[in-house]
Amino acid sequence: MSTIVNLVQGSEQWLAHRRSHRNASESAAVLGISPWMTPYQLWLHKTGRAVTEVNAAMRRGTALEPAARAAYEERTGHVMQPLVLQDGLYGASLDGMTLGGDLIMEIKVPYQGKASSLWRDAQGGQVPAHYAAQIQHQLMVSGARVAHFWVFDGAEGLLIEVHRDQDEIEAIRQAWDGFQIFLSEDRPPPLSDADTVQREDDAWAQAAGAFARAKQAAQAADEALEAAKQALVVLAKHPREQGAGVTVTRFWKTGSVDYKKVPALDGLDLSAYRGKAREEVRITTTT
């Protein structure tokens, strides 16, 4: 059963609420179908490692939302109230809901208006998959039976009716349950192809070339160092021998503990003792 959360959409309190809930606008990313955000990028935002930057398209959408809602109400006769709803772990910021709660709306104001691919999709009666996931999430949280997808160009609007799909709702719940593991363990999801940026600029090419050459030189030096080390080991017969500025010492080192074999730790959840995940950098070459 959903409850109304008295928050102003866009406020600091609203943003804090979003960070602790499974939000409708994030479901596409969790499902891996968002054109703007991957599961890894969402994990960065949900754990506070990244902050969403408001771009021109987002500012335009926010500015035109009241006009879009007014145009919808004039066309349909429905009076829609923006609401923030919560149902357990799930949240939804609705652009509008009827007093009876049986109908909700989702407003989109494409930056390019009628020239956008979204407008063309709406003209064909199609709701893009990432928006469809958002709407099904909203239907799940609100309990409404139907949603109106309203695409507005600043003057005119296109309306598509979307009905509740229980299979899609179940897929959203399962995806969030899987994603929650990464949040609970503070462990990032695997990177996807969408997380890779292809670089072809000169600055990158020069730096990458310098790295590859340096790595080859380092590998050659490592091989030469290991060969010289083994030659000294073969020559050294005593606990410590030295000469020509080099000392070879033989010593005993205590073995490491195999924690998997400690009976007292069997079945014990050690996650509470694990440090916070930290970002490291690994550089590899393809040749």
**Tens digits of per-residue pLDDT, 199-237?**
999 999 999 999 999 999 999 999 999 999 999 999 999
Q: What is the pLDDT of residue 176?
A: 98
**Do 190 and 48 belong together in one domain?**
yes
The residue among 159, 194, 229 that closes a domain is 194
Q: Which of 86, 141, 154, 68 is nearest to 115 (CA)?
A: 154
The helix, strand and coil proportions of the chain, stated in percent and rounded to the nearest 5, come to 45, 15, 40
Q: Is residue 281 part of a domain?
A: no
b/e per residue 192-228 (b: at least 16 CB within 10 A):
eeeeeeeeeeeeeeeeeeeeeeeeeeeeeeeeeeeee
Residue 283 pLDDT > 90, yes or no?
no
**Do 165 and 201 belong together in one domain?**
no
The residue among 144, 168, 194 that closes a domain is 194
Q: Which of 15, 281, 12, 28 is nearest to 179 (CA)?
A: 28
The residue among 161, 177, 194 that closes a domain is 194
* Percentage, residues of the chain above pLDDT 90: 81
Query: Number of folded domains in the chain?
Result: 2
**What does the mean pLDDT of the chain come to?**
94
Give the CATH number, domain containing residue 67. Answer: 3.90.320.10
Q: Which domain holds residue 267?
A: 197-273
Q: What is the pLDDT of residue 106?
A: 98
**Do 161 and 252 belong together in one domain?**
no
